Amino acid sequence: MNGLVVLGWSCACCSLVSGQDNKQLAPSDSLKLQIGTVKLDSIFQTKVSQVNPVEIKKQGLLPYTSLQQYLKGNNTGLYVTEPSGEPGTKQPMYFRGISRPLLSDIDVFQNQPLVVIDGIPLVGEHPFAYAVQTYDLERIGPATNLLANINIDMVKSIEVLKDVAAIAMYGPNAANGAIVVQTKEYQSDKTNRIAVNMYTGLAQRPQVTTINGEYENKFRRQFYDLYTSNGKYDDGDSYPVYLSDSLNMNYFGKSDWSDSYYNNGLVYNLNANLSGGGPRANFQFAAGSTQDKGISEKVKLNKYYALFGLNMRPLTWLTFSMQANLTRLDRNRNLNLRDRFAQLAYFPDLSAPLSPNKEVYNEYLGFYKKGFDNNKSNIVQGYGKLQIDLGNFHFLSTGMVDYNEGYRDQFYHSKLMESNNFASNYYGYNQRAVFDNKAYYDWKIDAKNNLNLLIGNSLQWDTYRYNYAYAYKGVNDFIKVNLLEDDINLPNYLEATAYPKALIFKFLDRIRHNLVSFYGKATYNYDKKVDVSLLLRSDGSSNAQPDARWLFTPSLSVNWNIKNSYFNTNRNLKDLTARLSLGRIGINNVFDDFAQGPNYVAQMGFTGNQLVAGYNAIAGLVRPYESGWVGYNIPWAYTDQGNLGLDYAIEKKNFYVSLDLYLKQTKNQLINIPSFSEYGYKSSYSAGMDVQNAGAELTIGLDPIQSKTFKWSTALNVSHNRNKLKALPNGLDRLVIGNNLLEVGKSLDQYWLLSNEGIYKTDAEVPSGMTYNAIQLRAGDPIWKDQNGDNTINDDDRTLQGHRLPAIFGNWYNNFVFGKWDLGINMYYNIGRELINQEMANRFDFINNEGARKLDAVKEITYWEKRGDYSKYPLYNPWSSVIAYQADQDLFLENASFLKIRAITLGYNLTTLLGGSAQRIKNAYAYVSANNVATITSYSGVDPEIVDYTGYDIGSKLRIPRIYTLGIKVDF
């Protein structure tokens, strides 16, 4: 994982009041503790992009279940995607662009930020499990978003670091940026405090237009009228049986499936926080439960969490802190056919799709109830800190651990798969242990000169492991066993008669990674006018090859406070600062086999399985080898970053502007290059891929009205990024991988498409000899642009078009206060992003998809929903061998820019109203909110957001729901 998110809990970073014996600590002693606990963990973070504190307050009231949902649009430079409205699913983040092409979920993983809670760098998931999957859709196991464990109600601030020297403090884990989330601090006043936040609400089912077999027949009839003799359905193609009989009420009757598929879902949250302390120690305990029930097929995410933190200061110079955070995530997954077939690696007969009739559809759903799909994740994080404060010298020693484990147990009834039942079990865990020591000295040379020195060492141990098994064709639908149990003496042992041995598949794997780091940092400040910071760091990784085990990385940052230098007497000027930072950060290899020198992985697939090492205990070996050759000369990959920034703020109207220009060069990256099969392997890993990201980030804030009766605050953030491929290994200029073209000098996130210019209405319109991949073009075929003029259409005529990632994104936030009422409105936008509407391509390509056993041919129940504008597409000959409606053409490329009214929150301060009868209430706030209110876009698909990293909208993802909530927040 790359990048960083830090979450500091209040009991761990608060200003303690304690003492020696019964003596109260002086304010200076308390300040020293705060320096030790807070500043040592995030020292010299000279510039951040911070969410408006008022907005953070509002965010804690919204029915979001993951950290990504709170961050989306709220920080410049951080692009958050939400490719599904299903609660608990993955939501990738990208900081200042992408460092490598997104060719698979493995590449998505390598672009993700690291998350750290209270200094604990979370281990997250690992992509090595994708190696045993035939389809790259969902990772095996529960595949639950682990960042749903964070309790946002306790967050005080969210920051995105911009200074590369501050990011580099966290080493290779932060190669793609650093995000700092700090929770509320507890100020000890010898009283206990209780805070409660609760809300309940409704996720509203969408209103959709359903269709049935009659509508589909009318749609297809126009093609038969044009391209078959006399428009007969039985000419030129075997018409599907389910559309042949208009008396079949399963398909031609009522289309009321949406009454069973979509539903109104209950959401609720109850969070309580107790904190207190005295002169020697303080504590904080938080617990709560959250439910996010989706709008479809009983999907749901339940979260249960508890946190305990303790700070003790037995002596004025000695502090001990500890914290434990426990979370349980239970997820009900969707009944999506694509996900189920991909996970089963098995396609049943697809000649008849699901019926749009509710009664028939409910009967189908009833077979799911005869099985189960349980998804559970347990997450534990904790640390212990020992801190010594001796004057200007501070020492902090920290032991940290992060552990998460996932379970998924499945059983599908035989009626769902042609009398072929299915069972699977998954257990996996990821754990990280860190031992970190750092010493800090604050040297006040004189009144104008100050020098801060920091040295540190960190040891990190990572382990990822899973056990996975599945089986087909059990003896009956009542035996639902644990396939992972191998001990014959235990009751869950799988007897040989339960499933045929040849149809039981077991997998287990483990990856380890160790990281050793040494670092030193010095920061010099002159008269509060100039700050200069230099970081020197050396990291050793067990995933690096022996001759390139270590990497040295320096970073430099300079801050010049122009206001203090030239305009110190100007009271209207609040801030005028120029910033410059330059630095290098190493990037860890994700897989440990790169450290072993020359090797390859042999895969043998049969009966629909991607990877099987043997058959009936007989070893098997096939060529070519699937995972590619790993050779020598693999160096460390690294990122060079430069940032130039300017901050300006004036007192009048509280106006502020922050502008950043950056350049990020990621070099020496590995990529799997296709090879000749005679070498014995399909591909080989080579280093030398370089990627550049350049962009600008702007934040503007203003308080236009600040009267006694009415206040209005507004803030706009704008982020712009463009990536470019600078080099490929071995001096290559172009590289084709699947349906992607990587070309030096071009963007990584573009589509490789044919340019569509219309339709050949007659054979005479076709240029003489014009072919597509040696197939003669005829009337009814598309006019694809012959880019090189060679009178043939092939891959040489495909060009790079559009962008999967937006050129500009951000949000516009407004807060209005009238007396005790306040209203917050958050709008989120993407500009300059295009999507391939593959759902529409699949619908028009009904001839090639009808009954085919492939993912693109799967018809979800939402197939019976009217979507898109059919009139914008020409009526090509669907029987043509050129596949006229293939998705890889700009006919289906659409502008997916949008503006969303993402959240509206209305609140009322009840503190004064309740204070007369309950003096212990310090703050009381009631609120209502509406989330995902409206979307303004020209995109014809369901939602321009719910598309994954490929940019191809398959239309099967669950919608992001509109949610209404009512809640109250009380502090005692």
- 777 and 709 within one domain: no
Residue 809 lies in a domain: no
pLDDT tens-place string over residues 738-792: 899 999 999 999 999 999 999 999 999 999 999 999 999 999 999 999 999 999 9
Residue 878 lies in a domain: no
Exposure string of 509-542, with b = 16+ CB inside 10 Å and e = fewer, is eebebebebebebbbbbeeebebbbbbebebebb
- 644 and 503 within one domain: yes
- Number of folded domains that form the chain: 2
Q: The CATH number of the domain where 54 resides is what?
A: 2.40.170
Higher pLDDT, 405 or 678: 405
Chain mean pLDDT for the chain: 86
- 686 and 791 within one domain: no
- 759 and 679 within one domain: no
Residue 770 lies in a domain: yes
- 697 and 609 within one domain: yes
Residue with tokens 């006229």: 884
pTM over 0.85: yes
Higher pLDDT, 735 or 47: 735
- 760 and 716 within one domain: no
DSSP conformation class of 477: S
- 762 and 694 within one domain: no
Residue 55 lies in a domain: yes
The whole-number pLDDT of residue 845 equals: 94
How far, in Å, CA of 847 to CA of 223, rounded? Answer: 10
| Nearest alpha-carbon partner for 849 in 863, 870, 832, 828 | 863
| Nearest alpha-carbon partner for 397 in 307, 458, 452 | 458
pLDDT tens-place string over residues 120-177: 888 989 998 888 888 888 899 999 999 998 888 777 777 777 888 888 988 999 998 8
Higher pLDDT, 667 or 23: 667
How far, in Å, CA of 702 to CA of 340, rounded? Answer: 50
The whole-number pLDDT of residue 23 equals: 35
pLDDT exceeding 90 applies to what percent of the chain?
A: 62
CA dist 788 → 104, 324, 437, 792, 793 (Å): 31, 64, 62, 9, 9
Q: What confidence category does residue 231 fall into, taking pLDDT thresholds of 50, 70 and 90?
A: low
Give 3-state DSSP helix, strand, coil % of the chain, rounded to 5: 20, 45, 40
| Residues 141 and 20 sit within 8 Å (Cβ to Cβ) | no
- 549 and 473 within one domain: yes
Specify the length of the chain in residues.
972
- 452 and 422 within one domain: yes
pLDDT tens-place string over residues 266-292: 999 998 988 888 778 888 888 999 999
| Residues 88 and 144 sit within 8 Å (Cβ to Cβ) | yes
- Tell me: pLDDT of 191 over 80: no
CA dist 230 → 217, 222, 225, 693 (Å): 16, 12, 7, 57
pLDDT tens-place string over residues 674-691: 887 676 778 889 999 999
How far, in Å, CA of 554 to CA of 549, rounded? Answer: 17
- 291 and 431 within one domain: yes
Residue 934 lies in a domain: no
Residue 215 lies in a domain: no
The whole-number pLDDT of residue 951 equals: 95
- 773 and 652 within one domain: no
Residue 424 lies in a domain: yes
β partners of residue 440: 394, 454
Higher pLDDT, 615 or 510: 510
Residue 249 lies in a domain: no
Identify the domain containing residue 352 by its residue range.
Answer: 4-201+264-270+284-737
Average pLDDT (53-77) is 76
How far, in Å, CA of 475 to CA of 421, rounded? Answer: 9
- 565 and 618 within one domain: yes
Burial class (CB in 10 A: 0-12, 13-18, 19+), 403: middle
pLDDT exceeding 70 applies to what percent of the chain?
A: 87
The whole-number pLDDT of residue 44 equals: 36
